[in-house]
Amino acid sequence: MYKQIYLTTLVLLLLNAVNGSAQNSNGAPYRVTGRIADGTDHAPVEYANLILYNASDSTPAGYTATDAAGNFSLSSRQEGDYFIAVSFIGYRAVRTGTFRLSAEKKNVTLPDILLEENEQALAEVVVTGRKRQVVYKLDKQVIEAAEFLSAAGGTAADILLQTASVRMDAEGEITFRGSSGFKVYIDGKPGSLGGAAALEQISAGQIDNIEVLTTPSARNDADGAVGIININTKKSNLEGWSGMVNLMGSSVWSRNMDFLLALRKKDFRWQLSGEASRRFVLSDYDQLKTIITPELLTTDHSTGDRRRHTAWYYLRSSFDWLKENTTWSAAVTGGYRDRWRGGDLHYEDTYESVATGEKTYGSFNGKDYVHLYESHFRGDLGVEHNFPGRKGHRLTASLYGLYEGDAMEYFRTDLWDMQGKQVQGHRAWEHEYRFTGQANADYIYPFGNETGKFESGYQLFTYTEDGDYIIDMFDPERDAFARRDDLYNKYLFRRDIHALYALVSDTYHRFGYQLGLRGEYTYRKLGNNFEWARHSRHRFDLFPSVHVSYALNDNSQLRAAYTRRITQPELFYMEPYVVYVDYNTAQMGNPFIKPEYTNAVEVGYNLSFNSNNTVSAALFHRARRDKIERLRVPYHASVTLDSMANVGNDYSTGIDLAATLQLYRFWNLDANTSYYFYKIKNRFKVDDDEESWNWQLAVNNNFDLAKNTRVRLEAYYVGPMVSTQGRVDGFFYLNLAARQQLLNRKLIASLVVRDILSTAEYINKRSGPGMETLSKIYPRSPLFTLTLTYTFNNFRPQRKAEGTNHDLFEGTNR
């Protein structure tokens, strides 16, 4: 039945597009076309607003918006003299000269119209073409990685966290408006990692901008409750050779080197990029844990340090060949990833008999270590064909394959008494081989005056993981580690997704719309040694999307959107065996975890005024069914077990506000805040449902102090947040960043000091039947980072993004 509904809807959308094309082809006889571009780098400006005016009386005669290539087409039924007014948030409004449409000149093509960014600079400061920090489009926000100094030497996470409602916990997990789960794309293609791990693998120096799709359209993957984060990397469009090199070092011995080398000729572009990165996070750790079993009440107090290390090495070569109306592209990437976390802890334990009240005590020293590494190889192929005769009439196809071999997940814990004799411990190995593949075919047909578009496409996604799990447990009687064959597990996981989608979009005067529908068939199979955990699933889902916008005038716009999303459970959510994170914390997957479904609605408003000031607001509501969350329960003695579960439904409703204000010629202020109500209808707690009012605030001051010198002071407050089993307290911190341009702006030096006052702290309280935990984590701060960027052969220098990073802690998943 669902398949019939889906196919019928696709046919109706297609008929609507064809009918719209037929009706509009008999329209006005006079037409003016052209292209809108950024005056700094000549990149196309999408969704710019254009109004056609009669030159005689300044009455409007037509309205449209630019497409993704910056192209526009306006028409009129009467001949005469006309001019066009062009506006877009973050740019100065532009008015063209007068031109004439007549019987002799029915079609007029204007030269490129270049928009100047709103900027006021000191007379003695070099004007660098500062970009808008955030650009709002019909279905996404674009965060420009050009003005955020404090991300220098950082990663994509440092840039992204500039956005209102985004927060990162001490474990590195990113949430948006209280919800986790998002997909990460790189240059429009799925990344080799997911979630926060993917963001931390991409150097800020390689990033041009980040697109945040909070309400993705049916064109995009339906996976990811929060939406999609697409990272667009830097590319050079300059003729000849060009390139850049970034070097970074920090006070905790993090270091990074990345480079980009480009060659551009008339009909081809070749790029070689690479990175060698080692990043560290250090924190002090304090946890009090109480576990109640029918026989024993155990209180464990553990203190020590937590360390996290991420290493990333890769080389990537890409090639684009432009031949007439067709572009062929290919890329190969190879590299190695290495991540570990762990620490040295001291334990003071108290054991109280429930029956007698008798207490005994124990003191121990422990060490825990989790190490994950793999090599990877990826190949990409793509083709884009533009049909002649109609702008935007396009067919694209792409294919990629990713192989991750020699993958290892190694877990180790050790516990010694105060005399140095080992009393507990384990060793566990997960050997894995993974393959990911995806194929896409997309078609776009413009209709009407080429402002309308019909889009349709097909996608195949496949993922396979083959591995086994081995564990050795310490035997105190034998004083040695022994293999636990009863816990051995060999598993094979596969997920295939077939998807079809259709979209119709158009603009009419000041109104724009986009309607879409996506259908996905999913096959999932988990095989392993435990018969009770084996299963396969077949599922078909529909995912509609609606986006509308209305330009109130040349400087303000209203937009609204609705989308339905899904979060597919990852394999590690389902692994049916126990892994020890440390002496008193174990983890286990749930093979029968269900996907999450999310319905999201958003209404936004954008306004620009007084040349260089912008204000935006967004009202939102998000409802998620079958929320996936890690639950903690008593396991045995002093050990708790964390397992994944569909804990219930959650809801978030609130508002995001953001503003950029030019207070003086040398002083620019940008601020954003988010305030929302979050509630969890919890299936696993006998008390009331968890709920809270959440808010966070960022106030950032940018100062142009002298020629080529810029300083930024950031203040952040991250408010408290509830979860299914507890609460995370709020915290506050300050960052300071400075940048100096040297050697005619070919060399840029950036110094960043994070958490200047050492005020950041992570305090998490969790409770459940028979268990209570209080965790406190304090980052080693302040943290100093120095970055040097050198560009050569006219590679356009692009400043580092100046985002924030709440990833100051290590050790929360304990």
Task: Give the distance from CA 345 to its chain's centroid.
Answer: 33
Each residue's pLDDT tens digit, 368-390: 889 999 999 999 999 999 998 78
Closest CA relative to residue 649, chosen from 626, 630, 678:
626
Q: Is the pLDDT of residue 125 over 60?
A: no
What pLDDT does residue 122 have?
27
Lowest mean pLDDT among 199-203, 323-327, 342-346: 199-203
Lowest mean pLDDT among 193-197, 258-262, 439-443: 193-197
Instruction: Name 370's Cβ contacts closer than 8 Å, sequence gap at least 6.
Output: 340, 341, 342, 409, 410, 411, 412, 581
Identity of the amino acid at 316 = R
What pLDDT does residue 379 have?
95
Q: What is the DSSP string of 286-309?
A: EEEEEEE-SSEEEEEEEEEEEEEE
Lowest mean pLDDT among 335-349, 623-637, 750-764: 623-637
Closest CA relative to residue 174, chosen from 574, 684, 721:
721
Q: Is the pLDDT of residue 275 over 60?
A: yes
What pLDDT does residue 367 have?
92
Q: Is the pLDDT of residue 358 over 50?
A: yes
What pLDDT does residue 686 have?
44
Each residue's pLDDT tens digit, 190-241: 766 666 666 766 777 777 777 878 888 899 888 877 778 888 877 766 678 8
Interatomic CA distance for residues 6 and 77, integer angstroms = 39
Tokens of 684: 């696993």
pLDDT tier, 665 (very low <50, low <70, confident <90, very high otherwise): confident
Q: Is the pLDDT of residue 296 over 50?
A: yes
Tokens of 746: 């070919």
Q: Is the pLDDT of residue 31 over 60?
A: yes
Identity of the amino acid at 43 = A
pLDDT tier, 41 (very low <50, low <70, confident <90, very high otherwise): low
Q: How many of the other CB atoms lie within 10 Å of CB of 76?
A: 18
Our CA dihedral for 105, 507, 119, 203, rounded to 10 degrees, sits at -120
Task: Give the distance from CA 654 to its chain's centroid.
Answer: 20
Q: Which has the higher per-residue pLDDT, 629 or 416?
A: 416
Interatomic CA distance for residues 67 and 628, integer angstroms = 38
Tokens of 42: 């000549």
pTM: 0.76
Q: What is the DSSP string of 13-48?
A: HHHHHHHHHHHHHTS-SEEEEEEEEETTT--B-TT-
* H-helix segments, 390-513: none
What pLDDT does residue 192 have?
63
Q: Which has the higher per-residue pLDDT, 128 or 424?
A: 424
Lowest mean pLDDT among 137-151, 412-426, 528-542, 729-743: 137-151
Q: Is the pLDDT of residue 621 over 70?
A: yes
Tokens of 773: 């935990």
Q: Is the pLDDT of residue 92 over 50?
A: yes
Residues 302/285, Cβ–Cβ less than 8 Å? yes
Q: What percent of the chain has pLDDT over 70?
A: 82
- What number is the average pLDDT over the span 148-164? 67
Q: What is the DSSP string of 559-596?
A: EEEEEEEEEPPPHHHH--SEEEEETTEEEE--TTPPPE
Q: Is the pLDDT of residue 486 over 80?
A: yes
Q: Which has the higher per-residue pLDDT, 655 or 128?
A: 655
- What number is the average pLDDT over the span 315-323? 91
Strand 30-38 and strand 107-109: pairing? parallel
Residues 163/143, Cβ–Cβ less than 8 Å? yes
Q: How many of the other CB atoms lie within 10 Å of CB of 47?
A: 23
Residue 6 φ/ψ, nearest 5 degrees: -65, -45
Residues 275/314, Cβ–Cβ less than 8 Å? yes
Most confident of 68-77, 331-340, 661-670, 696-705: 331-340
Lookup result for tokens 């009440």: 297
Q: Which has the higher per-residue pLDDT, 175 or 649?
A: 649
Interatomic CA distance for residues 541 and 519, integer angstroms = 6
Interatomic CA distance for residues 364 and 415, integer angstroms = 7
Lookup result for tokens 């039947």: 769
Rg (CA), the chain: 28
Q: Is the pLDDT of residue 22 over 50?
A: no
Q: What percent of the chain has pLDDT over 90?
A: 30
Strand 639-664 and strand 585-588: pairing? parallel
Q: How many of the other CB atoms lie within 10 Å of CB of 153?
A: 28
Each residue's pLDDT tens digit, 678-692: 888 877 654 455 788
Q: Which has the higher per-residue pLDDT, 131 or 450?
A: 450
Q: Is the pLDDT of residue 750 over 60?
A: yes
- What number is the average pLDDT over the span 90-108? 86
pLDDT tier, 800 (very low <50, low <70, confident <90, very high otherwise): very low
Q: Is the pLDDT of residue 669 over 50?
A: yes
